[in-house]
Amino acid sequence: MMEYSEVTDKTLNRSQKQKLSRQVRDKEEELETVMKKIDSLRQDLRKSDKNRRELEMRMEDALTDIATEKKQKERTEEFCRQLQEELNKKKNSDVTYSGSNFNSDASRYEIERIEIQCTEKLNQQQARYNIEISALRDQLKEAEKYQETLLNELQHNRQKYESSKLDTYSDTTDTISELKEDYDKERNIWMEEKQRLLLEVELHNQKTLQMQAKQNEFDGNFEELK
């Protein structure tokens, strides 16, 4: 009956050890999955940061072009103003000539035409740059939003990893403690069994010695009877 109980205990202990080992392996696999997810998020974050920097550079280039076009527009307006002043001076100095009014009006109309063309061209360029800047700002906003999402997800997975790591450590510690308890329990059982066997051997030896003494006494008595 005792042997059957020992076999049952060993079977239960073995089953418990296997169950705990499976739990530890599952936790380790979960940690590995989370680590892969974190690595993937880091790569996506690096790509997102690279795209954001490229968008910022494109926006800076567009703003530089706008500033250049603005300076060009100012120079053109200044040039037109100077031409207008020269035209007015020429008009005042050429009043004695019969064709001066015609030439003056023709020059003034030409200057106005050039000024209108330059203004329209600059306005078109300004509108195009405004559209491009607006699109770049929208893209930059989306990139920053996506980057923030990645950062939040990365933080969440880091916390999940730390939590799983602590759980795994706790489970491993519990497993080691339980295995140690099982080992101590089995060792105590075997020590008790050893003591019991030693006691039985000692009792057997004592009985053997007693029987040997009786046998010797019997042999002595038998010899005396002869």
More confident residue, 116 or 7: 116
Residue 113, judged by CB atoms within 10 A of its CB (0-12, 13-18, 19+), counts as: exposed
Which residue's structure tokens are 């680590």?
A: 35
Q: How far apart are CA 13 and CA 178, in angstroms?
A: 10
Which of 150, 155, 158, 127 shows the shortest CA–CA distance to 52? 150
Range with the poorest average pLDDT among 4-8, 103-107, 189-193, 211-215: 4-8
Range with the poorest average pLDDT among 8-12, 49-53, 133-137, 157-161: 8-12
More confident residue, 153 or 173: 153
More confident residue, 130 or 94: 130
pLDDT category, 137, cuts 50, 70, 90? confident
Q: What is the pTM of this model?
A: 0.42
What pLDDT sits at residue 125?
Answer: 74
Per-chain mean pLDDT for the chain: 72
Q: Where are the domains of the chain?
A: 16-225
What pLDDT sits at residue 62?
Answer: 76
pLDDT category, 133, cuts 50, 70, 90? confident
CATH class of 16-225: mainly alpha
Largest CA distance in the chain: 189
Q: What percent of the chain clears pLDDT 90, i.e. is strictly above it?
A: 0
pLDDT category, 198, cuts 50, 70, 90? confident
Tell me the per-residue pLDDT of 35-80, one tens digit each, with 9 for 90 and over. 777 777 778 778 777 877 887 787 788 778 777 877 877 777 777 6
Q: What percent of the chain clears pLDDT 70, i.e. is strictly above it?
A: 64
What pLDDT sits at residue 8?
Answer: 54
